[in-house]
C-alpha cells in the first residue's frame, strides 16, 4: 500500500510536469527531421530501379526494388511469422542483455576489484567472432532459446555496461557528499543519486544495444534454428531467391529502426527532466 | 544570545522534526587539519581552532579565501576527520560518523536532483533518515507554505530561478539537519538583490526553526546583519583571530546598517581581518 502511494505520487509528479505544447513542438520537429533521410532513401531506390531497368539486368542477379516489393508481399505469409519469432527472441534476449549489462555496470562500479578483474575480460569478449562461437553454443545448448539468448546478450550487453558505468561514475562528487552528510549508506546513494544520474548515459547505450540485438537474434537463428528471419534468409539464399533475401534484409532494417525509435520514445517519457534541462542550456529542443 | 523576538514563534509552533531537539550547542576543541600537498609535503589548513556556539545561536565565520572555513565546516558536519582535536555536540565529544545526519551542511551550490520536483528534493534528507514519505512531504509542505514556496512545490529544478533553487536547498538542509545547521556561503553565487532577499528569509527560517546556525561568508556586512557573533579567521593555516559579539537590535534594517554602531562593528571586523600577526 505504501509502495502504491509512492508510485502514484511519482506518476502524478511526472504527469503534471509534461509540457504538452512543448511535446507537440518536439513531435513536429522530429517529423520535419525525418523528411531528409526518407527523401535520400527514395532517391537511392529510384536510382537502383533506373539502373536495373535501363541496363536490363538479370532479375536473378539484381532485382529492381519494385520487384522486391511485389515478391516480398507475395511471400509475406512466410516472412511474417518468421519476423514475429525473431522479434520475440529479440525482446527476450534484449531483456536479459539489459539486466546483465546494468547488473555488471553496477557491480563494476561498486566493487573496484571486480572492475579491475572483469573489465578487461568484457572488452575481450567483444573481440570474439560470434561466427565461431555460435555453432559451439548450439552444440552445448541445442537449438532452443538458451543458445540464442546467450548470443544476443554477448552481442549487445557491452554498450549497456560501458554507458551505464560511465553514467554511474560521472556523478557529481558534491552530490554524493551531500547525501553522505544526510547520513546515507552507499547503497542509498547508489539508488537515490547515482542510478538516476546514470539514466541519460544508459539510454545512449540502450539505443545502440537494441539495434545490435536484432542482428544478434538473426545471427543465432542463422546458425541453427527451425524458424525465424535467420532461417528464412538461409533458405531463400540456398534457393537463390535474391529478391526475397533483399526483402527480408529490408524488413530487418525497418524492424531495427522501429525498435530504435521506440527506445527514443521511452527515453523521452522516462527522463523528461534531462531534455528540459538540455533545452534550457541549449535554448532548443 | 538569542534575540527575544525569536523565542515567541519558536515556542508557539510545534517542532518540525519530531524526536530531535530543536537546538544544540556545538563546539570545536583544538581542531587542526593537515593535508598532504601535491609534492607530498604536509600543508596545514587549520591550526588549533577552538570555538563554542550556544544552542539556538546564529554565528558567522568570516575570513579570507582559503583560510580553511569550509574545511572547518566539513569537520563539524562529520564529513572529514580532523588531524587533531575534538568536536562536541551538546557538550559530548562525538566521532565524525555520529554527526552525519545530526549536523547538517548546506553547500554553496544548490545541488538539487534534476529528476525530482522541488518538494521531492526538499524531503531527500528526511527520506534518508527513514521518515515515512507522507510525513516527510507533510513537513516539507508546511515549510514551503511558510516560506513562500507553496506554488513551486511541483516544479522541477530546471524551471526554478537561482534564488528559488537556493531556497529549496535551504528547506532541504533545514529538514535534513538535526539541531545544528552549517551554511557554507549559501548565497555566494547569487546577485545582490536576491542575496538581500534570501538573508531576510534565512533569518525568518532560523527564528521559526530554532536551530543553531553557523554561517560561513566573506561578506562583512552580511555577517553583521545576520549573526549574534562574528568569528574572524586568519589566512591559511586558519586560526581564530577573534570573536566579535553583535549586540545590534533585530530586525537589522537599513537604518541599523547605517547606524554608527554598525559602522563601528564593521571597523572592528575589518581591523581583525587585516591585522598582521
CB contact under 8 A, A271 and B115: yes
CB contact under 8 A, B120 and A178: no
In angstroms, the CA A246 to CA B195 distance is 67
Cell numbers for B48: 588549533
Is A19 inside any structural domain? no
Spatial contact of A210 and A260, defined as CB atoms under 8 Å apart: yes
Is A5 inside any structural domain? no
CB contact under 8 A, B114 and A277: yes
Q: Please state the domain count of chain A.
A: 1
CB contact under 8 A, B79 and A188: no
Q: Which residues of A touch B (CB under 8 A)?
A: 2, 5-6, 9, 13, 16-17, 172, 174-175, 177-184, 188, 192-193, 196, 199, 271, 273-274, 276-277, 280
- By DSSP bridging, strand B229-233 and strand B58-62 are parallel
Is A120 inside any structural domain? yes
Q: Does B7 touch chain A (CB under 8 A)?
A: no
Measured between CA atoms, the residue of chain A closest to residue B169 is: A178
Q: Does B29 touch chain A (CB under 8 A)?
A: no
State the smallest CA–CA distance between residue B254 and chain A in angstroms: 35
**Which chain A residues are within 8 Å of B125, Cβ to Cβ?**
182
- The pLDDT value recorded for residue A2 is 53
Residue A99 sits in a domain of what CATH number? 1.10.3720.10
Measured between CA atoms, the residue of chain B closest to residue A193 is: B113
**Which chain A residues are within 8 Å of B162, Cβ to Cβ?**
none
State the smallest CA–CA distance between residue B185 and chain A in angstroms: 15
Per-residue pLDDT of chain A (285 residues; tens, 9 = 90+): 456 776 787 787 778 777 788 888 888 888 898 899 999 999 999 999 999 999 998 988 999 999 999 999 999 999 999 999 999 999 999 999 999 999 999 999 888 898 899 888 888 888 888 878 888 888 888 777 888 888 899 888 999 999 999 999 999 999 999 999 898 998 899 999 999 999 999 999 999 999 889 988 988 887 777 889 999 999 999 999 999 999 999 999 999 999 999 999 899 888 888 888 887 777 544
CB contact under 8 A, B77 and A181: yes
CB contact under 8 A, B176 and A175: no
**Which chain B residues are within 8 Å of A16, Cβ to Cβ?**
154
Domain carrying residue A90: 61-282
Spatial contact of B211 and B23, defined as CB atoms under 8 Å apart: yes
CB contact under 8 A, A17 and B117: yes
State the smallest CA–CA distance between residue B166 and chain A in angstroms: 14
Name the residue facing B128 among A9, A184, A280 (closest C-beta): A184
Q: Does B109 touch chain A (CB under 8 A)?
A: yes
Domains along the sequence of chain B with CATH: 4-102+178-274 (3.40.50.300), 112-176 (no CATH)
Cell numbers for A149: 539468448
**Which chain A residues are within 8 Å of B176, Cβ to Cβ?**
181-182
Measured between CA atoms, the residue of chain A closest to residue B77 is: A181
**Which chain B residues are within 8 Å of A2, Cβ to Cβ?**
132-133
- Cβ atoms within 10 Å, residue A2: 9
CB contact under 8 A, A183 and B100: yes
Is A84 inside any structural domain? yes
CB contact under 8 A, B111 and A273: no
Spatial contact of B72 and B28, defined as CB atoms under 8 Å apart: yes
Please report where in the chains the cell 518538494 appears, as a residue: B119
CB contact under 8 A, B133 and A6: yes
Helical segments of chain A, H only:
2-16, 20-55, 65-74, 76-110, 112-125, 130-141, 145-169, 173-181, 186-189, 195-223, 229-238, 242-270, 272-282
Q: Does B130 touch chain A (CB under 8 A)?
A: no
Spatial contact of A238 and A126, defined as CB atoms under 8 Å apart: no
Cα-to-chain-centroid distance, residue A21: 29
- In degrees and rounded to multiples of 5, residue A170 shows phi and psi of -90, 10
Per-residue pLDDT of chain B (277 residues; tens, 9 = 90+): 444 444 334 433 444 444 445 678 888 888 888 888 888 888 888 888 899 999 989 999 998 887 788 889 999 999 999 999 899 888 888 888 888 888 888 888 889 999 999 999 999 989 998 889 889 999 899 888 877 888 998 889 988 988 889 889 988 988 887 889 999 988 877 788 888 888 888 888 888 888 899 999 888 999 999 999 999 998 888 888 889 999 888 888 888 888 999 999 999 999 988 876 5
CA distance between the termini of chain B: 30
Spatial contact of A60 and A240, defined as CB atoms under 8 Å apart: yes
Is A48 inside any structural domain? no
Cis? peptide before B251, omega within 30° of 0 = yes
Measured between CA atoms, the residue of chain A closest to residue B175 is: A182
- The pLDDT value recorded for residue A84 is 94
Amino acid at each position: 500500500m505504501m509502495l502504491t502511494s509512492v508510485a502514484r505520487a511519482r506518476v502524478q509528479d511526472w504527469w503534471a510536469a509534461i509540457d504538452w505544447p512543448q511535446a507537440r513542438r518536439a513531435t513536429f520537429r522530429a517529423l520535419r527531421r525525418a523528411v531528409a533521410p526518407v527523401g535520400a532513401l527514395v532517391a537511392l531506390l529510384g536510382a537502383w530501379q533506373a539502373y536495373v531497368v535501363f541496363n536490363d539486368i538479370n532479375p536473378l542477379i539484381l532485382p529492381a526494388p519494385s520487384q522486391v516489393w511485389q515478391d516480398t508481399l507475395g511471400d509475406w505469409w512466410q516472412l511474417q511469422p518468421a519476423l514475429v519469432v525473431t522479434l520475440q527472441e529479440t525482446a527476450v534476449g534484449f531483456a536479459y542483455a539489459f539486466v546483465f549489462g546494468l547488473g555488471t555496470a553496477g557491480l563494476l562500479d561498486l566493487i573496484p576489484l571486480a572492475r579491475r578483474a572483469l573489465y578487461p575480460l568484457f572488452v575481450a569478449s567483444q573481440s570474439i567472432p560470434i561466427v565461431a562461437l555460435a555453432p559451439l553454443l548450439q552444440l552445448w545448448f541445442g537449438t532452443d532459446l538458451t543458445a540464442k539468448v546467450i548470443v544476443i546478450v554477448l552481442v549487445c550487453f557491452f554498450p549497456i555496461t560501458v554507458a551505464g558505468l560511465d553514467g554511474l561514475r560521472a556523478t557529481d562528487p558534491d552530490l554524493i557528499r551531500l547525501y553522505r552528510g544526510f547520513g546515507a549508506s552507499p547503497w542509498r546513494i547508489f539508488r537515490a543519486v547515482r542510478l538516476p544520474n546514470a539514466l541519460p548515459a544508459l539510454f545512449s547505450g540502450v539505443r545502440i544495444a537494441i539495434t545490435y540485438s536484432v542482428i544478434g537474434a538473426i545471427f543465432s537463428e542463422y546458425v541453427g534454428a527451425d524458424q525465424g528471419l535467420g532461417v528464412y534468409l538461409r533458405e531463400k539464399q540456398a534457393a537463390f531467391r535474391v529478391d526475397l533475401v533483399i526483402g527480408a534484409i529490408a524488413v530487418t532494417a525497418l524492424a531495427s529502426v522501429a525498435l530504435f525509435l521506440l527506445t527514443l520514445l521511452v527515453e523521452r517519457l522516462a527522463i523528461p527532466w534531462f531534455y528540459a534541462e538540455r533545452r534550457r542550456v541549449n535554448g532548443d529542443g | 544570545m538569542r534575540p527575544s523576538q525569536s523565542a515567541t514563534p519558536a515556542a508557539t509552533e510545534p517542532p518540525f522534526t519530531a524526536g530531535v531537539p530543536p537546538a544544540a550547542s556545538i563546539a570545536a576543541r583544538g581542531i587542526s587539519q593537515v593535508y598532504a600537498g601535491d609534492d607530498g609535503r604536509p600543508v596545514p589548513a587549520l591550526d588549533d581552532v577552538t570555538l563554542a556556539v550556544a544552542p539556538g545561536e546564529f554565528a558567522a565565520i568570516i575570513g579570507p579565501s582559503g583560510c580553511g572555513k569550509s574545511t572547518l565546516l566539513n569537520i563539524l558536519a562529520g564529513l572529514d576527520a580532523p588531524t587533531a582535536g575534538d568536536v562536541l555536540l551538546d557538550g559530548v565529544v562525538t566521532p565524525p560518523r555520529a554527526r552525519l545526519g545530526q549536523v547538517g551542511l548546506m553547500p554553496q551550490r544548490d545541488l538539487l536532483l534534476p529528476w525530482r520536483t522541488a518538494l521531492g528534493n526538499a524531503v531527500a534528507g528526511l527520506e534518508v533518515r527513514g521518515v515515512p514519505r507522507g510525513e516527510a512531504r507533510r513537513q516539507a509542505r508546511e515549510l514551503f507554505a511558510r516560506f513562500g514556496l507553496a506554488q513551486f512545490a511541483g516544479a522541477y529544478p530546471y524551471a526554478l530561478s537561482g534564488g528559488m533553487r537556493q531556497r529549496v536547498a535551504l528547506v532541504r538542509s533545514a529538514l535534513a539537519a538535526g539541531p545544528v545547521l552549517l551554511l557554507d556561503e549559501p548565497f555566494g553565487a547569487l546577485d545582490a538583490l536576491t542575496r538581500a532577499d534570501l538573508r531576510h528569509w534565512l533569518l525568518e527560517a532560523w527564528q521559526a526553526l530554532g536551530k543553531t546556525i553557523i554561517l560561513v561568508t566573506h561578506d562583512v556586512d552580511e555577517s553583521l546583519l545576520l549573526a549574534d557573533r562574528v568569528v574572524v579567521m586568519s589566512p591559511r593555516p586558519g586560526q581564530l583571530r577573534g570573536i566579535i559579539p553583535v549586540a545590534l537590535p533585530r530586525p537589522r534594517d537599513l537604518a541599523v546598517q547605517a547606524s554608527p554602531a554598525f559602522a563601528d562593528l564593521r571597523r572592528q571586523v575589518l581591523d581583525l581581518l587585516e591585522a598582521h600577526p
